[in-house]
Structures are given as C-alpha cells and as structure tokens.
Amino acid sequence: MKKNNNLLKGVFIGMGVMVLTAFAAEKTFTLKFSETDINKHYQKLSVIRQIVDNSNLSHQEVVYVTKAIDSLQAEILTQVKAQIEPAPTKK
C-alpha cells in the first residue's frame, strides 16, 4: 500500500511540474534599437549573406546560413513594421 502511495505522489508531483512549466514555456523579448542601428544591422546581414554566397562553403552550408539570415531579416522587418504602423481603430 505504501508503494502505491509513493507512486501516486510521484505522479501528482510530475503532473504538477508539467502544469507549472507549461505556463512559462514561451517568453517574448522586445529589443529596442534606434532606426540607425537597425538599418546598420540589416545592412551587415546583407553583406554577410553576399560573403557566404561567394565563399567556398558547401552548398548545404550556404543554404543554411542564407536561410537563417533571410529569416532574421524578415523578422526584423515584421517587428519594425508592427512598431511603425498604427494599430487599427474600431469604428
């Protein structure tokens, strides 16, 4: 009986930990840059992309780096547009 009791406690503790971590699984971070800084970083990413395209890396490595840079640049554009464009108003 004691063995079942300990097993039951373990199951409940495990379920409790899962529930608590489920709520903290995703966090959102906001980084603030000036317009000059964000443009500088965006341009540097473009230069890195050109260097990688012209390098002697294997095709698979170039594709990986290029996709990572493209993804980062797309996210930068999305975040900047969201901060610049006013929120739609309800009429």
pLDDT tens digits along 43-78: 988 888 888 888 888 888 888 888 888 888 888 888
pLDDT above 70 as % of the chain: 65
| pTM exceeds 0.75 | no
Identify the three-state secondary structure at position 88. Answer: coil
How many CB atoms are located within 10 Å of the residue 73 CB? Answer: 15
Residue 27 has pLDDT above 80, yes or no: no
| Helices and strands in the chain, H and E counts | 3, 0
